[in-house]
Amino acid sequence: MGTTEEGSRMEEGSDHNWQRTLKKVVPCVVVLKVTSARSFDTESAGSSFATGFIVDKERGLILTNRHVVKPGPITAEAVFLNREELPVYPLYRDPIHDFGFMRFDPRLLRFMEVGEVPLAPQAAQVGIEIRVVGNDSGEKISILAGTLARLDRDAPTYSSRGYNDFNTFYLQAASGTKGGSSGSPVIDVQGRAIGLNAGSKTKTASAFFLPLDRVVRALNMCKACFSVGENNARTWRAPNIPRGDLQATFIFKGFDEVKRLGVKPDTEALVRSHKRQKTETVGMLVVDSRVPKGPSDGKLEPGDVLVEINGETVTHFIDLEDKLDSNVDEEVSVSVVRGSQMLTYKIRVESLHRVTPACFLELSGGSIHALSYQQARNFSTPTGQVYVADPGYMLSRAGISKHSVILSVKGRPTPDVETLATVLATIPKGEQVPVQYRVFSDRFRKRQSLIYVDRKWYGAPTVWSRDDSAGSWHQIKVYPFDEEESKKELELEATHKSKKCKMSEVPESCDTTGLANGLSGKESVEDPKESISRSLLLVDVEVPEVALADGVHSKSFTGNGVLVYQDDKFGLVLVDRNTVAIGPCDIRLSFCAYPAELHGTVRFLHPLHNFALVSYDPRDLNSDALKVVKPCTILSDPPLSRGDKVVLVGLSGALRSTARDASVTNATAALNIVTAEIPRFHAVNEEVIELDQDFGTSFSGVLIDENASVRALWASFSRQVGGEEREFCAGIHSYTFSSWIDKTVSYLKNFQSSHAHRKSVPVPVMNVEFNALLLSKAANYGLSREWIQKLAEYDKERKQVLRVKSCVTDSNAKAILNEGDMILAVNDKLLSSFYDIGGIIDNHCSKCDQLSFSELKEVDDMKLTVFKDSKIQDVSFKLEVVDGLGTDRLLHWAGAQIQDSYRAVKERGFLPQNHGVYISRWHHGSPSHRYGMYALHWILEVNGKPTPDLDTFLKETEYLQHQSFVRVKLCHLDNKPKVITLRLDLRFWPTWELKLNHQTGEWGRRVIKSI
């Protein structure tokens, strides 16, 4: 009985001690909100929560993990126990081990006193009780109990392509931790930190802690970098902490294993006699790997057992690092056992900071820097190579992925980032040049690709450098296009080509005209399939991440196009909108008839129907190409009908023409595509053609008759089924697009005339989406027998009536029509099909200038005969006019892409009062990401001021400064309002815009505000 009471009192006393300890420690622990602005080395751009704890309250030093401080650019805030929030700045991160320091100004903490947690690495012992104090998954504070189980666990492996710690032991305890607890202190009952939480295994409920031996050394050196000057000004110098390495990884193995590796008994006895801190040695360090071309390459080999450095026995990682850190850039004598031989080598100790990058090249939205020791070790390759941390737009467009190494550009080796930037600065915008690179998944072979040099969507290549004294990054060099150097390069190339031509001149008797004749396949009678192939093109579309407007669902599209017009000034290509979905994009046109590839420019995007028109400059084609590349002939009257024979012709991805004879099974199939989860273009009010035989979803093309006349565009459509993207192909009647080709040609021909001020080709629309309702069903909705009889006699094939499915929000139609209304006639002319709608609108506007927005807007109202509210009514209806290029302006603010509400958003049936500007995208690592200002929201107000349009939004945000907080009122697509606050970061996320030049069809970039 007495024993039980005594044990109970001891337990109560222990609990009381822990309560007293935690009361002292918890106020020293902070929640860290960290946002990585750019991908760098082992870390990706993003936002996360972590933990840190104060280790020097006077200087304001916080200890946390290296993967929290990160090697790249970050912004961070610390939230203290009383919910005060202060900015924190990275001061130091170890090149290898998972620890780093952040700093804050303690004077700014107004409402609480903080202490500091002392570091006691020597107190770590097996069996002691510990507490891990941190935040779990972003929660305020979480305290987990555990027992220290091991002091010599191998360093955990987190990723084969990311950050890993090595050349150190880890502590292990039976205590599981969660996300957000990284950087938590592991404390004993006296309130001392004996380890730093780094990782865990949920399945085994065990956690890994970094020992603090090397942390104490680094902390003391960081403290020496702080000073207080005049007027109590606090200043920090960048820490210069010597860190050395042989670029070799060691692992600890017991004597039972090292004996099998060749360690002799006398050597074992010598090592066993060496006791570190009165602790018996039970094993030795063994070389696990070394980095090619590093200091130890060609000397140390995997399996070597380390015995001595500079004549002193080394059996522990701490001793190893002591020797290396005190001999940076000097040679040390390293003795190892290999097999049964004792070998000694002189090896230079490499500075770890020298092989850890502190600057990067920002290129077309990507990050490129010298290959770090961390990644060189992961991929077993030399450090310092030109490494792709994030490919960005230009490199990803060429198929160059993350974790690649750039070897050369345009035949010039690129051993370092500066050389790469210099070479790219000499290449004109839009030029296509070869690049040689290597990917680590296929490291033994070199690859080649072509990059298109981009200067339109992103700024000039810029080098950023880390400044640890300021805790930030700065631009140190910009590489704009070097026109003079480019001219020199071109002159050298021209001279080289001239010499080659002289060496391989074609004999005078050689006739080169056969190429054109052969390609054109000239015969007395040309086969229709061969004839149409002269008009076919492959259209490749790439959309940069900063231009993913209008809810577009992919960055890359490929489809078939057909040449419909060409003169000496421009050519025009017809293509579906599942290939050219939006205006801001890069287009490459590859001709079937001749091996040529040209840049394309979007000239027309029909707002309702699934087709677009893309122009190109025929002057970029040589004379041979012009002989064989010909526009097609379009025949739209009479329209195709059921039973007609056609030939389906299309191009494969290899530019091979494929044809198939087919019959029309349905020429009046009413298209009905359900609205996608993220609003985007979908074809409406369109009748399509179905065939008995087609290519499936392999590729699109055209339908031609026996005379090679184009009767329809065989177009690709996209729709969502159960949240997944599905594609299908169907024919679009030539009457749908033929008149718009003529209008676009007229528009392009009149650039220099009075039409030059116009935005683009105007499109009169009803702003109504209809669906087809069978007349048999219409009777059940109350439509009279008389009207059913009229419509049945009018259109004996379709036997349908058009019913309103939806109206565009804030349109004339929305005020007049309701869902379910049936449109019976327009201007006293019966209406039963989408074909009728197009004809009626064309006739109604026939007296207007078809390229004049003002005239089309002033056209007289139409009279609609409608079955509405169970009765027949005549209503006055005014057409509206929309721009034939859609969205023409994108604004980037706080890492969010903002635009006016586009048509697909308005089709959903809701707009907030005063509308606001719409967020269509956000970027990882931006303030929008950090504070939750995501896509599918309208920005209604900024700091209480309404922002109904882009100009007003810019006016209300132009005075906001870097690092200032902004209050933003949002409204979701589902009409869910909320208010957030965010802190601006104009250094990495400036305010800028992309704007369309309607005359040239090109987009331009303008920076509005940055630092």
Q: Note if 98 is an active site residue.
A: yes
Active site residue 142: no
Instruction: Name the residue with tokens 């909100």.
Output: 33
Contact 869, 804 (CB under 8 A): no
Q: Following DSSP, what letter does each residue of 930-998 receive, concatenated?
A: HHT--SSEEEEEETTEE--SHHHHHHHHTTPPTT-EEEEEEEETTS-EEEEEEE--TTTS-EEEEEEET
Report d(CA 422, CA 403) in Å as an integer: 22
Q: How far apart are CA 481 and CA 455, in angstroms?
A: 9
Tell me how far apart the alpha carbons of residues 61 and 194 are, in angstroms, rounded to a whole number: 17
Q: Decide the pairing of beta strands 709-721 and 633-634.
A: parallel
Cβ 595 vs Cβ 572: under 8 Å = no
256 noted as active-site residue: no
The 3-state DSSP class for residue 749 equals: helix
Q: Half-sphere exposure (CA, 13 Å, Cβ side) for 880? A: 16
Q: How far apart are CA 481 and CA 493, in angstroms?
A: 18
Q: What angle do CA 54, 60, 61 make, to 5 degrees?
A: 55
Q: Which of 67, 923, 937, 998 is catalytic?
A: 67
Q: How far is CA 704 from CA 646, 655, 668, 700, in A?
A: 6, 19, 18, 13
The DSSP annotation for 482-537 comes to -HHHHHHHHHHHHHHHHHHHHHTPPPTT---THHHHHHHT--SS--HHHHHHTTEE
Contact by Cβ (8 Å): 403, 386: no
Residue 406: CB atoms within 10 Å: 25
Note whether 529 and 659 are within 8 A (CB). Answer: yes
Residues whose CB is less than 8 angstroms from the CB of residue 431 and which lie 6 or more positions away in sequence, other chains included: 452, 453
Q: Which of the following is catalytic: 39, 142, 181, 926?
A: 181
Catalytic residue among 56, 98, 390, 550: 98
Nearest to 363 by CA among 332, 340, 397: 397
CA distance 29 to 36: 22
C-beta separation of 393 from 544 below 8 A:
yes
Question: To which H or E segment does residue 775 belong?
Answer: helix 775-780
In three-state secondary structure terms, 964 is coil
Letter string b/e over residues 137-159, b meaning 16 or more CB atoms within 10 A of that residue's CB: eeeebbbbebebeebbbbbbebe
CB 386 within 8 A of CB 406: yes
Integer Cα distance of 925 and 366 in angstroms = 13
DSSP 40: B
Let me know: does 825 contact 865? Beta carbons within 8 Å. yes
Distance CA 180, CA 132 (A): 12
Which H or E element spans position 632? none
Distance between CA 395 and CA 453 in Å, rounded?
Answer: 9
Instruction: Name the one residue in this structure whose structure tokens are 């292990």.
Output: 172
> Quick one: CA dihedral 409, 412, 416, 422, positive or negative?
negative
**Which is it for the CA torsion 723, 727, 730, 731, positive or negative?**
positive
DSSP 8-state assignment for residue 610 = S
Q: Are 95 and 353 in contact (CB under 8 A)?
A: yes
Spell out the SS3 assignment of 124-185. CCCCCEEEEEECCCCCCCEEEEEEEEEEEEECCCCCCCCCCCCCCEEEEECCCCCCCCCCCE
Q: Catalytic residue numbers?
A: 67, 98, 181
